[in-house]
Structure 1
Amino acid sequence: LNSCRSTPCQNGGTCANNGANAYTCSCVTGYTGTNCQTDANECRRSAPCKNGATCAATGVSTYKCTCTSGYTGTNCDQDINECQSTPCQNGGSCTDNVNNYACSCATGYTGTNCQINLNSCRSSPCKYNSTCINNGANSFICNCAAGYTGITCEQNLNSCRSNPCSNGATCNNNGVNNYTCSCVPGYTRNNCETEINECSSNPCLNNATCNDMINHYNCSCTTGWTGKTCDTDHNRCRITPCQNSGTCINVGANQYRCNCGSGFNGTNCENDINECSSSPCQNSATCADAINGYNCQCVAGYTGTHCEQDIDECLSMPCQNDGECVNQINKYSCNCIAGFTGTDCQTNINECISSPCQNGGTCQDLINGYNCTCVPGYAGNEC
């Protein structure tokens, strides 16, 4: 009935009885399985890390190896080849060792990496046909040829000797390793090696293609354009030269004709025709020029398109009482019939105002006359 009696749990595991023939094992750290029979520490179980490496368990059946110097790989089982970087110089042979290498030097060389040249002249360090004198390991003296100086005779006393200036430029020697180049037109930079791109300033206009030449350029113009920079329009009508609604007609390269609208003339229809120049307005009227026309501003007393009509001030019949109207310039006069007066003959002349009736007679004013009514005892036209 007590299934733990037989101590089924191994490696220090704790048994918990669950009834007849039933139990569970609580395993200590590093073990697993129904009876804690499996070692979960791979480092302890299989010792996977080689060549003196340190093993560290990272989980159940997992681990990490820390390799000693000279080894690599998951289990540190691979010897690092220190010869892989080719450390041995000047033809030396490399032998791989653990965390090290050894160089077997070719004749004339020594040092850990065969870097020391026992014959320093072997590499021909002296330039320009100069003579090398060996002065021991990594030491030499150069006897320079005429015109050169420096430790390896690398400095040219005549800097122009190597013809450094390109493209026909003139070399000016300024001393050891110092010169200036005078470039021919169209080239630039220190040695005149760069051709100046005259197209870089985009000189060709109106979508033309620029072709770079030596010290100049050439423009391939698009249709309708000409000139060195394609700035001349074959079709001059493109720039709408005709003013004041004139119609432009292209008549050839760089030529055009304007058909002007009414009231304008000139090469570009720029002139407003002065219709007043013919003095169309009469009777001292003022002429005001308009587009394709004119307006006459008449002086008082005249009317009509050209102020040619004298305004008849008598049309309104201003003269009263049968007065005769005489038309004048901007006015009229009235010739009154007998008995009337005033600008418009509107006033009846009072003939009684002179008191023509005598001896107490009464005066009655008439048209162009008067009538006397006499007191008794008197008679006659004026009593």
Structure 2
Amino acid sequence: MKSWKVLTILLFAAAGVFREVTPLGGVFELRLRSFTTPLNRDIDGLCCSLNESDCRTKCTPKFRICVKNYQVTIDPSGGCFFGETLTEVLQFNSGGGSAGKSSNLFHFPFNFRWPGTFSLIIEAFQPNPPSTSSSSNSTHRLLTRMAIQQYLDISESWKSREWNSTLNNTLKYDYRVRCLPDYYGEACDKTCRPRDDKFGHYTCDQDGERRCLEGWRGEYCEVAICTPGCLHGSCSTPSTCDCHSGWEGSTCSSCTRYPGCKHGRCTKPYSCECDEGWGGLFCNQDLNYCTNHRPCLNGGTCFNTGQGSYTCECLGGFGGADCEVVKDLRNNTCWCENGGVCKTTTLGLICDCPEPFTGPNCRSTPQSTLAQCPCLNNGTCTSTSPPACLCPPQTHGPLCSILDPTPLNFNICATAPCANGATCTSTTTPHEFTCKCRPGFTGSDCSEKCDATCGLLIETEELKQELSTQHVVFVIVVSVSTPLMILIAVAVVILLKKKKEEERRRNDQVARVQNERNAARDFGNSGGGGNGGSGEKYGIVNSLNNNKKLSNLDLSRFNQQQFSKGPLCSYPSPSSPTPTTTATSYTTNLLPPHSPLLLDPYNPPPNNSTKQQNSPLAPPTPAVILNKFDLVYDLNLATEV
């Protein structure tokens, strides 16, 4: 506790020192311009120079300045709340003008809200020479005292005042109150310090409001203004854009693709959404090889057959995986007459006809040119009139332009007779072929559109055959497995029933043993003869009533034990007189010991024997005799114990 007290005292002391050496808020300033004493006398009428009688020597005053809080009646002896100072001897010009010296300017700083009012006390003293003794034994003599109270607003302007005493002493002075640097407002209670560091970037206006430097915003101008359009980024310096994770670009507007994404794009950071025809995690699995690579050359048709695989259907005269191989034109030439040459184009094989022949097979020619005998295919022009062509073997026609259709120079499929990408198969018969149509087309040349499944008839038949086989297998499996599952279920049910029956038997056995033990315990706990014997038997009955689940074997044991001791009746004690013949007659009415009877002490039978009522030796009224089956429930309930 002492250490805490010491620490508290030190903190308050430090705060007091800080208040003295560190002015906060504002400052009250006083400037003494002149002080004149025409009579050169003090307030008591004495000369400033005590050695003179005519007071010719000028006074050399010192001043006490006290600034305090506003008082209606100023107390010059009280404390100076704003501050107090004692000056050295101040020299003023003899003409009463301003001294104009910095030593005549006094500062009284404060670290609280300026209240708007103040009280000012200015006292002028004439110091006594050290060798001179006065009647008052004082080192100073009062020349004049001025005390005022004023309202004063914060301002940089000086307010000039003049004060005259009764001795014609004149004091001219100026005062003002202003805020210290970094303090603003009507009471100098608002702080604003310009700064340009990590805590802020701003200047201060005349009202103390923060004005952010260019490129900064926020309450303390601590937030940098990023590059215009910076969507997914931030900045620590103005006009920059540092992208967040997963974004890139000058304005962080482009997402970063998943690393390794080849043929894809992203709509969010680190994603890979594949372009059309591509798949896989990295969009590197070609799902549309034909579109992406166009591998089939020379006008071949490309078909996608799987991931990264394809087949090319080539035009006549071309072959190879990509239709890049030009086949032997002897087997794939087109049917050109009159010297036409079969050429390969993107449209297939066409005839390049010589002049003057035209047409798909170069058959057409002007009539005027026939007389010129332009024999083709190595035909020889005769000198007959008109001239004629002598054709070589396997050619015929007027100009030997018709080639005989042999396997060496003709293939009907080379003319692409099948439409819509169908597959052409030539036959051994010239000019005959068959077309295998693609799905959706039909006709001898596959030129007719039809239902999308009409081209799949053969495949459908094969599929039906395959499905029929699958159905047979399925039926066989179901036929075999269903009875097997039924047998397993029946076996499980039988096993569960046997297990439940075994548990029931075991519970019955446990119940029997427990009943036996309870009966034996009750028999052993019953009393002796006489009335006690009767209590024993009553206890046995109660025990049997409480354990109602006794078997026939238990009851037989119980009867043998009880009737071997005597009948279940209660007689007087041995101290009673010996029973008479009446008593003997009574006992002969008892049942034999092998007839199991139980007594119910709570329900006595009706009194039908007058003789027994009048006999002094008659035993108490016997209890009702109950058959053992009246106290034992069905053995089937034994398991409920």
TM-score by length of 1: 0.32
Which structure exhibits the higher relative contact order, with contacts defined as CA atoms closer than 8 Å and separated by 6 or more residues? 2
Q: Which has the higher strand share?
A: 1
- Name the TM-score, length of structure 2 as normaliser: 0.22
- Structure 1 or 2: larger helix share? 2
